[in-house]
Amino acid sequence: MLAPPEADLHDDSGLSSIFFLSYDRGQTTSTSRHCSSAAIENGGTRAHQAIEYQEKEDRVASSSSKTVSILDLPLDMLHNITRRLTVVGDYRSLHSSCKTLRSIAPLMTTLDGLALQSPSTYPWFFFFQHHTTSLHLHDLRCRNTFTNPRQLLPKSPSSNSTTCIVFSKERWLLTCMEHDIFEPAVNPLPQPVFLFTFWNPFTEEVWSVPEMIYPPSPISIGVSAAPTSPHCSIMGVAQSMKDYGGIWFHFLKLNEGQWHYLEDAEANFEPSDHNTPVFLDDKFYFLDKKRKLGVFNCRSGVEGLYEWERDVYPWKLLSHHVVDPNEDLKFKREYLVECEGEIMSILVGDLGKSILVYRFDRQKKGWWRVNSLGSNMVFLSNTSCFSTMAKISGMENKIYFPRLSAKGSIVFYLLDTHKYHTFDYDDAMEDFLPTSEVHICGWIEPKG
């Protein structure tokens, strides 16, 4: 606030006119006491200065009390604001405010436009309804769900075949369609064929993958990089059909265009169908149903697939159990995650009544209990398990599950409270009972 000139407050020449200024929320009032015409004539200069000061104060107060609208901002500033909104729901709210803002923030009809509108700093939850192939995107910080009916799962060539999502990597989904081919001259029985396709639901781009024609079907599949990368590899493991504990490996370097297969009858490994492998340092790590950790070394190359000498054999069993076998029965699901260059396992008890997090020591070949994720957040599903650094305060040290609350909000486990919460700030939950699981789903990063 401006200060009046000293000459206006202290009358050395007998001027009896003193202006008392009071301020109330930016409003200015003035009062004149014992002001006579003679006094004003004698101190005309000082009085004139005081009047000018008062008028200036009135103008300041008037401008400060004026309501400023967002529409008063320059257009380039408004465009910058729309590009920096980090929640899709905020963008849509801005779009629906008025006609002017609708022209500044147009509502895109494609998912790619939606992603560009909202430079999200965290992954989105995607899912497909059981009765439709339309893709739904769910903002995990609010209950906004966005559906684009044009974004369909690729169709299968056979009406009897099924299409499923087996992995998600960055902006890409890896889909698998299974159908049978019948060639009596080759095989009197129908031969299963697995068609894999990389699909970007934001750009609708499709990247073909060579057919897999060798049974059995893979149970757990991992991808090293996006299909646009020259280092993209696909690794799958399947249970052997003749040897209990034996496994089949399916390996493909996308730029080579040929699947390679290897059976190990002595692997003593039972692949799990509800967790995905971790790719780290040119190796695929797998966690089986009994929480045993195995690793497939891609550095051995394709020729290493057929080297049966154990010193160069690409598959090794690193650990037999995450927890004590007597305690192992309490847990119904296991997940494998890479976090800051470390391998971590997350064990989930029946109905989510208990959660344990462990870190694998690759030097000592053992598991160590973890009580905090620090500034990281972990995302779990059957098609994608990964961690990322939280860029928004309040999202860290949480494990996000593919489950929805009664209000339709994403459910997460907070390691500080050992309970389940949502961003609706409802009462904490002890287990999964008040929630529902989403099955054809996963996590996807809108920015490529």
Q: How many CB atoms lie within 10 A of CB 273?
A: 10
For 416-425, what is each residue's pLDDT tens digit?
Answer: 999 999 998 7
Q: Is 428 left (phi over 0), alpha (psi -120 to 50) or beta?
A: beta
Q: Higher model confidence: residue 121 or residue 279? A: 279
5-19, 294-308, 337-351, 372-386: least confidently modelled range: 5-19
CB neighbourhood size of 192 (10 A) = 16
Q: How many CB atoms lie under 10 A from the CB of residue 223? A: 28
Question: Exposed e or buried b for every residue in 391-412, given b needs 16+ CB within 10 A?
Answer: eeeebbbbbbbbbbbeeebbbb
Q: Where are the alpha helices (DSSP H) in 324-370?
A: 325-328
Q: Are 305 and 315 in contact (CB under 8 A)?
A: no
Rounded Cα distance, 92 and 74, in Å: 20
Q: Which of 165, 31, 109 is nearest to 442 (CA)?
A: 165
Amino acid 6: pLDDT: 41
Distances in Å between the alpha carbon of 441 and those of 344, 375, 419?
22, 25, 23
The label of the residue with tokens 């101190």 reads 43
**Phi, psi at 375, each rounded to 5°:** -90, 10
Residues above pLDDT 70, as percent of the chain: 63
- What does the radius of gyration of the chain's CA atoms come to, in whole angstroms? 33
Confidence of residue 344 (pLDDT cuts 50, 70, 90): very high
Q: Which residues of 356-375 are buried (b: 16+ CB within 10 A; e: fewer)?
A: bbbbbebeeeebeebeebee
Contact 255, 240 (CB under 8 A): no
| CB neighbour list of residue 446: distance below 8 Å, 6 or more residues apart | 114, 115, 118, 120, 123, 124, 171, 202
**Greater model confidence, 367 or 95:** 367
- pLDDT for the residue 244: 67
Task: Band the pLDDT of 18: cuts 50, 70, 90.
Answer: very low
Candidates 338, 357, 354, 337; CA nearest to 346 is 357
Highest mean pLDDT among 150-154, 326-330, 383-387: 383-387
Q: How confident is the model at residue 7 (pLDDT cuts 50, 70, 90)?
A: very low
Question: What is the average pLDDT score of the chain?
Answer: 76
Task: Outline where 108-234 has alpha helix (H).
Answer: 111-117
Which pLDDT value is given to residue 65? Answer: 55
Tokens 């009047």 sit on residue: 51
| More reliable by pLDDT, 154 or 337 | 337
pLDDT tens digits for range 183-230: 666 566 666 788 899 988 877 889 989 988 766 677 889 999 999 999
> pLDDT value at position 38?
45
Q: Give the amino acid at 157.
A: P
- 181 or 193: whose pLDDT is higher? 193
Residue identified by tokens 């598991």 is 367
Distances (CA, A) of 313 to 124, 303, 382: 39, 10, 28
Residue 387's pLDDT is what? Answer: 96
What are the backbone angles phi and psi of residue 123, rounded to the nearest 5°? -65, 160
For residues 191 and 214, give the distance between their C-alpha atoms in angstroms, rounded to a whole number: 9
Residue 386, H or E segment:
strand 386-389
Average pLDDT for 96-114: 64
* Partner residues linked to 249 by β-bridges: 237, 262
Q: Is the confidence at residue 53, as pLDDT, over 70?
A: no
What is the model's pLDDT at position 233? 93
Q: How far apart are CA 142 and CA 125, in angstroms?
A: 11
Give the strands of the sheet with 124-128, arranged side by side.
Answer: 145-152, 134-138, 124-128, 441-444
Q: Is the pLDDT score of 366 beyond 80? A: yes
pLDDT at 239 over 90: no
For the cut 50, the answer to whether the pLDDT of residue 337 exceeds it is yes
| CA 271/CA 347 separation, integer angstroms | 16
Q: Does residue 216 have a cis bond before it (omega within 30 degrees)?
A: yes
**Residue 252 clears pLDDT 70, i.e. is over it:** yes
Which pLDDT value is given to residue 12?
39
Residues listed for the chain: 448
Whether the predicted pLDDT of 316 surpasses 60: yes
Q: 106-110, 210-214, 271-275, 404-408: lowest mean pLDDT where? A: 106-110
* Token duo for residue 220: 């757990």
Element (H, E) at 45: helix 44-64
